Amino acid sequence: MSELVSVIVPVHNGEAYLENCIESILAQAYEELEILVINDGSVDATEKICKRLSEQHTCLRVITLSDLGVSAARNSGLEQARGAYIMFVDADDRLRPGVLKGLHDILTGTDADMAGCGFAAFETEKEWERLQQEEMPRNLTGEQAVTIYDNKRYLEEGILRGNTRCWSKLYRRSLIGQVRFREGVSIGEDMLFLVELLPHMERAAETAYPGYGYYQNPRGAMGRPFTPAYMDQIYCWETARELIGKQEPSLVVQADAKIMVAVMLTVGKIAMLSAKEQKGAREYLQECQRTLKKLAGKKECYAWLPSGYGIKVRMFACLPRLYTRLYAMMQRRKK
């Protein structure tokens, strides 16, 4: 008999999409399933939807929190999950049919600690329906379809190359152990969680099949105007750099490049604020400049930056006000 899988779904004001998410999980071809919905301080109809779903489905449990943030919500789910395997699904996302069993087969078939898949982004129901029409490969566990990593290779070829999501993955509970998400952090917490798992991980397996449906939510954290929470991504990469330095010192230069990118993404958000709002965010802009100045002289980092970022980094480090004005001007012209 299959071992229990716990699917943890944090939700905050998710009345528009929670039910679709849960239906996609219930439709998975996997019998031993529990769903933990963490209702984190919702003030819309989410609570009513959770109550109705829990009454309809005995495998679904609801945990209520008082708006503590996504990290605390996931941690609460981990504390109460009973499964031998764990999966995280965001409430505005969905699972494509059969992917949970496919990931379980990969995990057990390769004796991995974690199995992940790709994702397909969608914005409308029509796009989701189109994805549903695409057939899933009959065998996700074929040797050519799955890549096996040790923890160093997963850090270098996965996390440091953009696979920083905690969702779209199935974990052995024994891998997670007492590792938890950093609470109070809302951008970058996924990546940091994965980095902290690495010392405990012997093997990870990945398939490119896009079995996870990622909703491109315009209200998501990265789609909103600048708030101080955007600084979290810099903090998380700085923390990750320290951990990487202890585990794999040769990869620190790549982590430094990631910090540079996080700084420039944050600066871009600040640049799009009004003049009045920018005055209120001045301390954050100054912090970004200080962080970047520490790294800008490390020439070896530039080889790891995305195209065009080297020029951006040098210009902002020397002329922050001019850079923000020019950046805002160019972005507005694009619109």
pLDDT-derived band at 144 (thresholds 50, 70, 90) equals low
Residue with tokens 């430094």: 256
Q: Does residue 220 form part of some domain?
A: no
Which one of 215, 245, 275 terminates a domain? 215
Segment 105-117 mean pLDDT: 95
pTM for this structure? 0.92
pLDDT-derived band at 1 (thresholds 50, 70, 90) equals very low
Which residues lie closer than 8 Å to 85 by C-beta, 6 or more apart?
Answer: 3, 4, 5, 6, 104, 107, 170, 171, 172, 173
Q: What percent of the chain has pLDDT over 90?
A: 81
Is pLDDT of 139 > 80?
no
- Give residue-wise pLDDT tens across range 163-187: 999 999 999 999 999 999 999 998 9
Handedness of CA 137, 141, 142, 147 (dihedral sign): positive
Q: Examine the domain organization and report whether 40 and 183 are in the same domain.
A: yes
- Give residue-wise pLDDT tens across range 226-236: 999 999 999 99
pLDDT, residue 335, reads 62
pLDDT-derived band at 220 (thresholds 50, 70, 90) equals low
**Separation of alpha carbons 10 and 194, rounded Å:** 18
Segment 63-68 mean pLDDT: 95
Average confidence score pLDDT of the chain: 92
pLDDT, residue 193, reads 98
Segment 32-46 mean pLDDT: 97
Q: Examine the domain organization and report whether 66 and 171 are in the same domain.
A: yes
Q: Does residue 131 form part of some domain?
A: yes
Give me the domain span that covers residue 309: 225-334
Q: Does residue 25 form part of some domain?
A: yes
Is pLDDT of 29 > 70?
yes
- Structure token pair of residue 43: 């003030």
Q: Examine the domain organization and report whether 19 and 156 are in the same domain.
A: yes
**Separation of alpha carbons 122 and 127, rounded Å:** 6
Distances in whole angstroms, Cα of residue 3 to Cα of each of 6, 108, 293: 10, 11, 51
* CATH code of 25's domain: 3.90.550.10
Say how many domains are in the chain: 2
Q: Examine the domain organization and report whether 58 and 191 are in the same domain.
A: yes
Q: Examine the domain organization and report whether 111 and 247 are in the same domain.
A: no
pLDDT, residue 145, reads 82
Which one of 215, 247, 274 terminates a domain? 215
Which one of 187, 215, 243 terminates a domain? 215
Helix (H) or strand (E) holding 60: strand 60-65
3-state helix, strand, coil in the chain (%, to 5): 55, 15, 30
